[in-house]
Structure 1
Amino acid sequence: MSTDERARVEHQLEALFASHPPADTPEQEFWGAQFDHGLAWVQFPEGLGGLGVGPRWQSEINRRIEAAGGSVANRYRNILGIGMGAGTLIAHGTEEQQRRWLRPMFTTEEVWCQLFSEPGAGSDLAALSTTAVREGDTWVVNGQKVWNTLAHLAKWGLLVTRTDPDVPKHAGLTYFVVDMEAPGVDVRPLYQITGEAEFNEVYFDDAHVPDEFRIGEVGEGWSVAMTTLMNERVAIGGNVAPRGSGAIAHAVAAWERTDRDDPVARDQLLAYWIEAEALRLTAIRAGEAAKRGTPGPEGSTAKLHWADLNKAITSFAIDLLGPDGMTYPAGYEFVRPELTSSRTEDVHKAYLRSRANSIEGGTSEIMKNILGERVLGLPGEPRVDKNVAWRDVPRS
């Protein structure tokens, strides 16, 4: 860490705290000032929420803000925007798009969602069939997306569409930002095992998207989408929470409710605590090594391990509760939440919600393929439709 970078970060932090004391400033006002001081995404260019310094400084900035009584909850209230959309805009967006969307994204004045998966295109995202047809300076979108986290709260959506069915599937995609409040966009809740509907399905019926909302060139949507997905895996698996928080906190709390005389359970708890801490420290290192805009495969490593560990720890916590673990005190009343329930204080809900961890953000099977091919250099999976036009590929 260079002395110059430290001095710049310290100077901006001091100026921010002097003009907007974290404990006394309303959250959105503070986050706006944080962006203006270049401390939102510190690795981004100046004027776009950053200082152009190494990303390793961001975790230190967040710790200092929390220690001063401030909040970094915007990263959870708008995880799809701050965690995924921002890096995509920096890597592929125009300067006008960056200036238009980044600041209200960081302040959570405008919440974002992701519109990728479809009923017939989940792990094979490039097989998607939602179409965008150009009409002058607009694109007319028709199709269906599914498993769209917090889409019911979103102002903007990150949308991948098929614009050319006559080329191989990866080559015919184009990426847009879509106004979720526009005519022709219909958001419907998906009732989950937790009783909530943080996920949604979204239907497009002749929805018009201006060409100025296109991210990247026509037909280059796959590379833009890969940037979003790599950022998503960092946001999910590489989120650096305080030591002892998250799933392991549920396990410790459940342990405190038992008679604590079982040496086997005690040893298992300690083993999980050590593994959770090792993963947390690994996430810190991966975050410090991340490049601006497009992370490397480190996020896939963290996401894969996090999914398996989170499910194992929450299952262990439920087992510790004995018969109480079979109940669900929160009930199954239909709720459309304002936060993803992956950050819940309810151990029963955490256990149920963790079942999605190995599916969302790329299945664990896909993560293993990515690591095998891009990290270990193993041969890729056979792809018989690689050079076949999308419209000629058989589909069920």
Structure 2
Amino acid sequence: MTEHTLEIMKCTHEKQKPDDDSLLFGTVFTDHMFIMDYSEDKGWYSPRIIPYQPLTLDPAAMVFHYGQTVFEGLKAYRSKKDDAIHLFRPDMNIKRLNRSSERLNIPAIDEDQVLKYLKELLTIDKNWIPKKDGTSLYIRPFIISTETNLSVAPSQSYKLMIILSPVGAYYKEGMAPVSILVEERYTRAAPGGTGTAKTAGNYCSAYKAQARATAKEKAQVLWLDASEKTYIEEVGSMNVFFKVNGEVVTPKLNDSILPGVTRDSVIQVLKEWGIPVQEKKLSIEEIYQASRDGILEEAFGTGTAAVISPVGQLEWNDETIVINENNTGPLAQRLYDYLTKLYVGEEEDRLGWIVKVDHE
């Protein structure tokens, strides 16, 4: 056995699986996990699937002190047709993990090899994939810096891990529009920063703004650009789209917007459907003016967790606009229905996005 051969150690006692109706997000984890280590002399080595268990890290491990860590989020589904395991564009997530790593000065992984390891892990824990409509198995790959050293410098050792968690339907009582607070004080990311990387600090730095939104009974925050507080960037942890006078517009990617997999997919689907879609620098004033002019038809966020999240209200400068009478728009509903059916094999995979784990 070489240092790059996958080692598999199965658990001796399987956990009790939760009922599909009781699933929350990220609170229950499967029987196994994947780990691989990195050192400067060996590169990435010792890939292994082991029983899910706590980690032992030195208190001086650099991840605790300087936040050198990246992560991803994707899902596995059960096909309604043949019960095969479906992944949706997993190559995109693994590529983005490497892009995040490059920004955080973390060594790259072999994307094809890691996808093979993930498939093996899913095969071992396939009975954890829930089957009820709207449920899935959430997949969290992440990398942490592990060198025992308090020097302010990139770590020389890392761990790549993948953990799995069965999750419930995002919309348990039907898809409902959310109210959004436009954030003018705090900044999620700035030009030249880490906004395009999926790294821990981007998320905890948003908590203060989210607390303000919650206090105003808003579900999410709409981030504006750091420099001028004028241009729209993201909604919470989602990308955002607006339908204005028959055309769909979304902020053009820059180095402070995360390039979402669902975002890219929605753009391609809209083009296939013949619906005009434009990526552009988009100001919050344009959206409010479109609302005043009566041509703001819909707004929705896109992301792995919710897939499509309709926006019913925006509050900016103490002015609230109501979008589509606070109802889910027909385009948002159509996109949600199409993608969620595609995930489970009920829509034809015309774009070749579904990767089957059971039947290669």
TM-score band by shorter chain is under 0.3
Higher relative strand content = 2
Q: TM-score, normalised by structure 1?
A: 0.25
